[in-house]
Amino acid sequence: MLILALSVCLAQDPANCKVVQLPFFAEHVPASQCARYGEPEAQRWLKDHPGWVLRKSMCVPSSAPETEA
């Protein structure tokens, strides 16, 4: 299973960033397609969390530890 990891920062305080990990909904999506299929999930998270902006996103295995933003 893949995790969609979003590096997001506060719009009003761009130095205040964090990594948000979203379990990826499609377990059988190849890693090469994760970013394409994960984009709507990232947009949905941003819509539900106004005030945050997306810095970058990446797909990582679910066993990967959280990283710094």
What's the confidence (pLDDT) of residue 69?
A: 52
Per-residue pLDDT of the chain (69 residues; tens, 9 = 90+): 678 899 999 999 999 999 999 876 556 677 777 778 888 889 999 999 999 999 999 888 776 555 555
pTM, 2 dp: 0.77
Would you list the DSSP string of 21-54?
A: EEE-S-TTS-HHHHHHHHHHHHHHHHHHSTTEEE
